[in-house]
Chains A and B, each alone.
Chain A
Amino acid sequence: MIDSSSDRLSTHAIRYGRDAWLVEFATEADDESFASAAMIRRQLEQNPPPHLREAIFAYTRVLLEFEPEQCPPLAPEFFLTERQNDSARIKIIDVCYDGEDLQRVARHRGLTVDEVIEKHSAALYRVHFLGFAPGFPYLSGLPACLHTPRLDSPRTRIAAGSVGIGGGQTGIYPLPTAGGWNIIGRISVPLFDPSAPLDSCTLLQAGDELKFRAVPSFS
């Protein structure tokens, strides 16, 4: 339950077209914005505003899209609530670290290939939101010692399931696409299954925490 006397979460709402509010709840993508998003997500689940079609999160903003011509004149407000530590949401994905740019990342960072693998699989990542393509997770948590610039010229085709590093971000390609990230490995489970029900069509969900586990190969 939301106590009306509790503190308001500081937000800034911008009207977005006829049917939506864009609510900014943070200015940086960090642990605090991740926690604020979790609070807002919980409040929307417990107490959804009338006619809300969907809440779509990004790092620092949530888009509240309403059914046609049902957008309220004032944006919904949110409250500071206790943080919940939900360790059950840590997901582990096996990665075979045999990507074609593994050497490039190691060379760029002055590490050995084994050290790159060790550091990439030791970190805890957070799924801030899904977007761009179905099931694509926007993650935070890549250690600074692994940040590596994108390729000068993007590859025209990267296989689905490829794990990459692009600048300060790491991620997994859900569908075969063009891309400029350094490919360091691959996973064997699909990130997106278009034939599955909506609540299980993506391997990861916003709010999840994620660890990669290095495996020598997929049997």
Chain B
Amino acid sequence: MTAPDHSSTALFRVIHAGAMTGLQDGGRPGRKAFGIPPGGAMDLHSIERLNRLFNQVPHTAAWEMLWASLHAECLRDCVIAYAGDAQGYVNECPIPAERTILIRCGDRLRFQARGQSLWTYLAVGGGWHGPRWFGSQSVWPDGGMGRYLTDGDILCAAGTEIWQLPQGVSARLLRSEDALENTSFRVYQGPQWLEFRKDSRELFFQSPWCISQQSNRAGFRLQGPALFVPQGQLISEPTVLGSIQVPANGQPIVLLNDGPTVGGYAKIAVLHPDDLSRFRQSPPGSIITFSLVS
């Protein structure tokens, strides 16, 4: 099989796409009035660190991989970097995370998840080629905005500046502020905070919560003691990223990037924006706790 030559910026051919591998950037905030959720990278901090390595716009799109299992063949020399808990390999040699790496035509790139965090990101100097919807390259298949990668896809660079970037491994190592061993998350009181019974409010902070397997880019479900839900039906109201709503079964749901823009359940709390990336990296089965913003 010959490498496609119709695009001079084709960088990789996907051998194995893995699960939910899609381009994500800073998303499209500010469109909720149209019913369009913000979308964007689940771990925004990782994207920002990668783009700092390349001295490019902080929210330039990177490939977001769930449980990183991407396997691809390099079609043209380029400089890449990845971030996440997964281990990357070039031709089966381990490569360090969060450093620029020169990869040559014909090299094989693959990743292996280690299970500590959900999402791994692959960036290239100059960014990746991909269509934009409402100013963002973030894919959201349910909303008709692109699709996830499939085997055989070609990954292309956004521009030709890949050749002007420094080649070789950068010595710059940026430290993550999101220590994964920290399993406590700061929250604000939600708009219906006072409508919850006092014992439920206390329980929300005292109890450990388990992130459910039934979690996705739209929201993470939590399992724990059942909270009492306020009586009376709430008229649908807009939501913010990180709203924690409690449906009738008393088990909270944290609304995330691809979630509905309005919700009809009482919200007990709202995640602190600075803790969102670390929260969204927490795999199902993680035991977490909440603390009130002081």
Contact call A16/B35, Cβ cutoff below 8 A: no
Cα–Cα, bound, A207→B66 (Å): 40
Contact call A57/B143, Cβ cutoff below 8 A: no
Which residues 1-49 in A have Cβ within 8 Å of B in the complex? 14-20, 22, 29
- Shortest C-beta distance, A56 to chain B (Å), equals 4
Chain B residues near A138 (CB-CB < 8 A): 236, 262
B171 close to A (CB within 8 Å): no
A131-B145 CB under 8 A given contacts A59-B236, A63-B240: no
A130-B33 CB under 8 A given contacts A18-B273, A22-B237: yes
Contact call A131/B272, Cβ cutoff below 8 A: no
Contact call B260/A63, Cβ cutoff below 8 A: no
Best-buried of B30, B145, B260, B272 by chain A (most CB within 10 Å): B30
Partner of B35, one of A17, A63, A68, A132: A132
Partner of A194, one of B33, B145, B190, B273: B145
A159 close to B (CB within 8 Å): no
Cα–Cα, bound, A41→B142 (Å): 29
Q: What are 17 A-B contacts with C-beta separation under 8 Å?
A: A15-B189, A16-B240, A16-B270, A17-B270, A18-B188, A22-B191, A22-B238, A54-B32, A56-B32, A57-B238, A132-B261, A132-B262, A135-B35, A175-B142, A192-B143, A201-B36, A202-B35
Contact call B262/A17, Cβ cutoff below 8 A: no
Contact call A133/B35, Cβ cutoff below 8 A: yes
Cα–Cα, bound, A61→B235 (Å): 9
Which residues 174-219 in A have Cβ within 8 Å of B in the complex? 174-175, 192, 194-195, 198, 201-202, 206
Binding site for B on A (CB under 8 A): 14-20, 22, 29, 53-63, 65, 68, 129-136, 138, 174-175, 192, 194-195, 198, 201-202, 206
Residue of A nearest to B186 (CB): A18
Contact call A134/B188, Cβ cutoff below 8 A: no
Residue of B nearest to A53 (CB): B30
Ranked nearest first, the 4 interchain pairs of A and B with the lowest CB-CB distance are A17-B270, A63-B238, A131-B262, A56-B238
Chain B residues near A136 (CB-CB < 8 A): 35
Contact call B144/A194, Cβ cutoff below 8 A: yes
- Shortest C-beta distance, A127 to chain B (Å), equals 12
Contact call A134/B272, Cβ cutoff below 8 A: no
Cα–Cα, bound, A130→B36 (Å): 9
Best-buried of B133, B240, B272 by chain A (most CB within 10 Å): B240
Cα–Cα, bound, A14→B190 (Å): 9
Partner of A198, one of B31, B261, B273, B293: B31
Chain B residues near A19 (CB-CB < 8 A): 240, 273
